Structure 1
Amino acid sequence: MSEPLTVNVRLAAPVAAVRHALTDPAELRVWLAEHAEVELPHRYEFWGRYTPEGDAPHQRLLHADEHVLRFAWLLDGVETTTEFTLTPEGEATVLTLRQSHFDFAEAMSGSSIRGVLQTFWALSIANLAARLEGGPLLPRTDFTAAELRAEVTIDAATERVWTSLTDSEQASAWFGYPIGIEPWVGGRYAMGGFESGQAAKVVDLEPGRKLSVDWGPIGVGTWELADSDGKTRLTLVQSGFDEGNPPYGAWTGVVASLFELRRFHEMADWQPIWLPVEMPAGSPS
């Protein structure tokens, strides 16, 4: 069933700076899309290989002011609606994203490109945050390719990063969702925690260096660590999936999570940028 997607995030920049990053085409080409053209209040378009169905621009601007940006976006034959709202919070900004026509079943099955919307925006907003903080951006998903590979450098010792990848409590903290991990070959890797009743399987493990998890139809995800002058080079690869239907949604979500993994290690007073979403009165929890 299609349902609206809502995301709240605290960005370390004033509203004017966030709005500039959201509406300046040169900025959009850095953190969002391969191509972007903006002429407010008439045009807001982005496309290219880092955009779902990015063969051409499929957006239609609906509204733009100092605090709200709203556009229609045609995806898989359906006109969806995307809205950004900017709310000042001291020297920071709370950005609220509302995206229509997100269907979790489509995300799980890969039956429609709309299924990638949640993780596409998670990665895009993580890169917006990195851009505003002046830090390195995460690799963007190439929706035209079947090779799923990403590499980041984390300013922390390899043994610390390894622990955060294999310890259930630490992994749950930076990922922002319960994860149960049994760090041995044959062990469970359970998104939602062990009590969720569903788990992937650890199929390869070299302590301090390599972890591979078999996710079934979407393939095997491998995390590989290497020392790099006291820092950690982390390489993430997804393999063994149907190349005719790459698991772009799941892959993009894992890459997006690397933003908080890096901040978890590099910030002494780390707090996630993602904020709880308040449900309207009477809404089911």
Structure 2
Amino acid sequence: MTEPMRLPVRLAAPAGAVRRALTDPAELRGWLAEHAEVELPRRYEFWGRHTPEGDAPHQRLLHVDDETLRFGWLLDGVETTTEFALRAEGPDTTVLTLSQSHFDFAEAMDGSTIRGVLQTYWSLSLANLGAHLEGRPLLPKVDFTSADLRGELLIDAPTARVFESLTDSGQASAWFGYPIGIEPWVGGRYAMGGFESGYAARVVDLEPGRKLSVDWGPTGVSTWELAESQGKTKLTFAQSGFDEQNPPYGAWAGSVSGLAELRRFHEMKDWQPIWLPAQVPGLEQPEATEATG
């Protein structure tokens, strides 16, 4: 079995507040899942349409103390292990490390098991935990019962600046946390990992200051549309053109999770991403703030 996937984040809240957000069922129903029930030290369950295989709770609490919460989670017939580990970094800052077993990047790419969504599912969930703790509106959660992949986000910044950060390689690489090479014209490349990484999606529609569409092939077309709204930017985003019998939930969750940092990138004076260097089995982690090409 591969090493567990680890996603560390720096959260702007005391360790006690983070622990409450992880263990209080009312808070969990806000940032994580449609349904949640917690009775420590015996029960830790969440389920519903925003949870992979969320028809019923499939978690089994394994361990809990002041710094650690660990549970088994049955997914596609395999019991995986998920752990939250907390470390107080200061009076108002906490480092949380999410550890998830049974994730394989190859499975994420070929869609052979629901476990392939775990990296981006947890990335979006942790982004929403960060937003919850900072008092910001949450991003749309994935609805694993629907093929309607769309949402919107309000960003307190001028539309021109937001559009530039969506189409400039350096800025997009910074807020997304992974190198992106962008040729901002119709027919141009949109290369996750940079221009030297191999496969590149294609820009299929671009209206300066207003709209960008990128064709990813089998997972469909991502579209971002911007509109001015009382001095702020309303960003509407959607995925279309995919096989509706097999929606690209993993790709969608990854795309949406990045928008949390796009908003923070524009709204925070001394912006720093919440993400710390991660370990994802099967995926080399390049420098997050540099676009190649």
Confirm or deny a common fold (TM above 0.5).
Answer: yes
Q: What is the match of residue 250 of structure 2? A: 249
Deviations 1:172-214 (A, max 9, x none): 0000110000011100000000011210001111111011100
Residue by residue over 1:221-244, the C-alpha shift from the partner in whole angstroms, topping out at 9 and shown as x without a partner, is: 001001101100001110000111
Contact 1:189 1:200 in 2 (8 A): yes
Q: How does 1:77-88 map to 2 (within 5 A)?
A: 77-88=77-88
Q: Does structure 2 conserve the Cα–Cα contact (< 8 Å) formed by 1:60 and 1:72?
A: yes
Query: What is the one-letter code of the residue matched to 1:76?
Result: D
- CA distance, structure 1, for counterparts of residue 2 and residue 277 of structure 2: 21
Distance between the aligned counterparts of 1:197 and 1:75, measured in 2?
A: 32
Partners in 1 of 2:272 and 2:235 — Cα distance?
22
**Between Structure 1 and Structure 2, how many residues are aligned?**
281
Q: For residue 178 of structure 1, what is the amino acid of its counterpart?
A: P
What is the CA-CA distance between 1:4 and the residue it aligns to? Answer: 1.4
Q: Distance in 2 between the 1:66 and 1:169 partners?
A: 40
27-36 vs 104-113, which moves further: 104-113
Contact 1:59–1:71 (Cα < 8 Å) also in 2: yes
Residue identity (%): 78
CA–CA distance in structure 2, aligned partners of residues 243 and 178 of structure 1:
29
Question: Does residue 174 of structure 2 align to residue 208 of structure 1?
Answer: no
Q: 1: distance between equivalents of 2:9 and 2:238?
A: 27
Q: Would you say the 8 A contact 1:49–1:144 is kept in 2?
A: yes
- Which stretches of structure 1, 4 residues or more, deviate above 3 A after TM superposition? none
Cα distance per residue 1:244-282 (max 9 Å; x no partner): 110000000010000000000000100001012489xxx
Determine the C-alpha separation between the residues in 2 that align with 1:187 and 1:50. Answer: 34
Higher relative contact order at CA 8 Å, sep ≥6: structure 1 or structure 2?
2
Query: Quick check: 1:47 aligned with 2:65?
Result: no
**In structure 2, how many angstroms separate the alpha carbons of the residues matched to 1:55 and 1:44?**
16
Q: Are the counterparts in 1 of residues 156 and 232 from structure 2 also a CA contact under 8 Å?
A: yes
- Secondary structure of the 1:272 match is coil
1:2 is displaced (CA, Å) by 4.6
Residue 3 (structure 2) pairs with residue 7 (structure 1): no
List per-residue Cα deviations over 1:127-148 (Å, max 9, x = no partner). 1111111111111010000010
With normalisation by structure 2, the TM-score equals 0.94
Contact 2:7 2:279 in 1 (8 A): no
- Displacement of 1:109 in angstroms is 1.3
Cα shift at 1:77: 0.4
What secondary structure sits across from 2:269 in the alignment? Answer: coil
Structure 2 gaps, min length 5: 286-293
Q: Which residue of 1 aligns with 2:291?
A: none
Once residues 50 and 173 of structure 1 are traced to their aligned partners in structure 2, the CA distance between those partners, rounded to angstroms, is 28
**Deviation (angstroms), 1:7:** 0.8
One-letter identity of the residue aligned with 1:42: R
Aligned twin of 1:122:
123
- Secondary structure of the residue aligned to 1:18 is helix
- Given that residues 3 and 103 in structure 1 are in contact (C-alpha distance below 8 angstroms), is that contact kept between their aligned partners in structure 2? no
CA distance in 1, matches of 2:164, 2:13: 32
SS at match of 2:218: helix
Q: Which amino acid letter does the alignment assign opposite residue 37 of structure 1?
A: E
TM-score, normalised by the number of residues in structure 1: 0.96
Match of 2:174 in 1: 173
Q: Equivalent residue of 1:164, what SS?
A: helix
Q: 1:168 Cα shift?
A: 0.4
| Matching residue of 2:290 | none
Following the alignment from structure 1 to structure 2, what is the Cα–Cα distance between the partners of residues 166 and 127? 24
Cα deviation digits, residues 106-144 of structure 1 (max 9, x gap) = 111111110010011011111111111111111101000
Which amino acid is 1:146 matched to? A
> In the alignment, is the contact (CA less than 8 A) between 2:5 and 2:279 conserved in 1?
no
The change in CA–CA distance for 1:243 and 1:2 in structure 2 (over 3 A counts) is farther
Question: In structure 2, what is the Cα distance between the partners aligned to 1:110 and 1:126?
Answer: 23
TM-superposed CA distance for 1:34, in Å, is 0.1
> Unaligned regions of 5+ residues in structure 1, if any?
none
The answer as to whether partners of 1:180 and 1:191 remain within 8 angstroms in 2 is yes
- Give the SS at the match of 2:178: coil
Matched residue type, 1:61: L
